[in-house]
Amino acid sequence: MRPSRRATIGLLALSLAAAGGVVAWSSSHQAKAADSGPVTIVSSDFEDGTTQNWASRSGTEVVENSTTVAHGGTHSLSITERTSTWRGPVLDVLDVMEMGTQYTITVWVQLASDASSDSARLSVERQLSGTASYETVVNNTAVSAGTWTKLSGTYTLATEVDFLTVYIETANAYPSFYLDDFTMTYVPATPIESGIPNVKDVYDQFPMGAAISRASLLGERGKLLAKHFNSITAGNAMKWDATERTEDTFTYTDADAMVTFAKANNMQVRGHTLVWHNQTPAWVFQDASGATLTATEENKALVLSRLENHIRNVAGHFGDDIYAWDVVNEVIDEGQSDGNRRSSWYTLTGLDYIRTAFTVAREVAPNAELCINDYNTTVTSKRDFLYNLVSTLKAEGVPIDCVGHQMHGNIDWPSASDTEAAITKFAALGVKQQITEMDISIYTDNSSSYTSIPDSALASQATRYKALFDVYVAHKADIDSVTLWGLEDGDSWLNTYPITRIDAPLLFDRNLQSKPAYWTLIGQTSPAASATSVTASPSASSASPSASSVSPSASSASPSTSPVSPSASSASPSDPGTSVCSVTYSVAGQWPSGFQGSVVLKNTGTATISGWKLSWAFADGQKISQLWNGSYTQSDATVTVTNASWNGTLAPGTSATFGFLGSWSSTNSIPTAFTVNGATCS
């Protein structure tokens, strides 16, 4: 076995001077001149007639050089005789990929001439001492015969490994395919701006936090994190699928590294999250045979016992290292008459899962601030349902200390007045409040996409940040923590949600440099003459650190999600047949027996749609288990999704996006026909 790619993790435990620097591992890559441009580490064009070190992942499929088709030149790599979706071509990159460096990985894929359309994704498998982890670099992307499709994304190795490969797999079937012109490049890290004011010092009224992945601890990113923030949230490393993927087997490697870094740099740690309807392994809601649990008293007791065991282990492991926990996350669905999200937690236990979670968390973490966390709390209906729930549970003696406002917004929303109204309302309950997942998208809809972000969008973003922070400071007696959902624009979940597009929702850009929003927040004029536009290919998106997956092991991951620009107005139904519409249905992620779907409904007509019901039929027995940004019913194969209160009005040219989790067995084909309010959509 070759030696592992090891960073000296102990170095992360050393803090430097009060300027906020940290000692972190530095690779030979980063020693190159910063102005040298992209450096190519691996390039596979197959023009020499060999496989250029590409091999069969399982040993059964055939991987060989081919001249049948080519993206560039006359040769490509052919992959045939596949017998499952994960079997395909693989490349060993252990000896060329360095820890802490962000790589751009690109490959072109085309299906064989006799293959039906499918989706392909680009992934990484890493191992240490025989324990494997799988990470998605580029999520499911439609591929077909006769056309080359580009897969491109970024990846940062953030942990020591002794096995590291890049591979391509398909989502639904196992067609033969070709790949060509694979490259892996990096741009030497740009040093952070060490002489500018620290955000945490300018806003010393409350801890200033950032949500991070383990990669955020390394190199220049680690320096940026320690300089400007004094609180961190693990974006995914403390969620259920990361800490207890299989029952009673607990893993804390990434989360422990974050806690170690925080201690070394005098930072606090927020825990996120003990209970959520997403990223909870399927076994939690299954019996010993793997069958889905039904709502019985016996099953309720089983689920609550699993919940208690999970919290006692996870919260107990971290103890007083966590100053606040998001105990339960996103339990409100304003589309329901009672406001309660119809998650598996709720359908099996009612509100007892919330009562149990807070009660056990208080026993295990008596000194932590215990929060109930949700998005769109500035929308009246969502806010009121959450207020009533917290009021009721506190009256019962449930130990809820704090309400978390996620505050995912955009350059037009939410307003300062709506934000202030939400904070004022919950202050009356006598709870603390935290801003837990703040970011401000440069887009105000779910479909637009820039190739070059205009200065005007960044200026509007700066204005919105300042307006909301002014509210936080004015209510500093009620707010005791503010956290941004990410460290820099390149690792934001908004680069892949609600669609793949370049977004820039944070204070620092992809090169770790300050943006107009930063300078507006600290009350100074930027030394730069004007904002620098960000340019990228729409198809070359950053891989979100919150996206993990894939075969052969099954997991799905996403950050706490909220829709773009909800409206507080309620919707009334449209007349059948009057709307003109289009629907984009995609499989955002798939694993054995489960998948995540995404649907974009667009009004392509000239009249406003006021209230919509979208219907389709599954062809292969798929079943939806959870849905967000709307409500749903399913009768056999037929699914009907109804708008939420805030996304029911679609002006011409605008769209609404919703997502769901579902199950599948042998096939997961995409529906071919959709109707909205009785009218057929394209």
* Distances in whole angstroms, Cα of residue 149 to Cα of each of 19, 71, 111, 261, 678: 46, 10, 9, 40, 35
The active-site residue out of 437, 488, 491, 503 is: 437
With beta carbons less than 8 A apart as the criterion, state whether 679 and 635 touch.
no
Helices of type H across 428-536: 455-474, 516-522
Burial (0-12, 13-18, 19+ Cβ within 10 Å), 162:
middle
Distance in angstroms (rounded) separating the CA atoms of residues 584 and 481: 38
Q: Inter-axis angle of helices 416-427 and 380-395, to 10 degrees?
A: 10
Distance in angstroms (rounded) separating the CA atoms of residues 526 and 477: 30
With beta carbons less than 8 A apart as the criterion, state whether 62 and 56 touch.
yes
> How is 563-579 classified by DSSP, letter by letter?
-SS-------PPPTT--
The active-site residue out of 135, 220, 254, 374 is: 374
Burial (0-12, 13-18, 19+ Cβ within 10 Å), 582:
middle
What are residue 371's DSSP bridge partners? 326, 402
24 C-beta neighbours (distance < 10 Å), count: 22
The verdict on whether 437 is a catalytic residue reads: yes
Distance in angstroms (rounded) separating the CA atoms of residues 260 and 312: 21
With beta carbons less than 8 A apart as the criterion, state whether 274 and 310 touch.
yes
For 202, the 3-state DSSP assignment is: helix
Neighbouring residues of 112: CB distance < 8 A, sequence distance ≥ 6? 80, 145, 175, 176, 177, 178
* Distances in whole angstroms, Cα of residue 58 to Cα of each of 137, 167, 506: 20, 11, 41
Token pair 């020693």: residue: 31
For 349, the 3-state DSSP assignment is: helix
Half-sphere exposure in the Cβ direction for 2 (13 Å, CA):
13
Please give the radius of gyration of the chain, using alpha carbons only, rounded to the nearest integer: 24
Residue 429's φ and ψ, nearest 5 degrees, are -85, -10
| Range list of β-strands (E), 534-622 | 581-591, 594-603, 609-610, 613-617
Classify residue 215 by its DSSP letter.
G
Distance in angstroms (rounded) separating the CA atoms of residues 380 and 383: 5
Q: Known catalytic residues?
A: 330, 374, 437
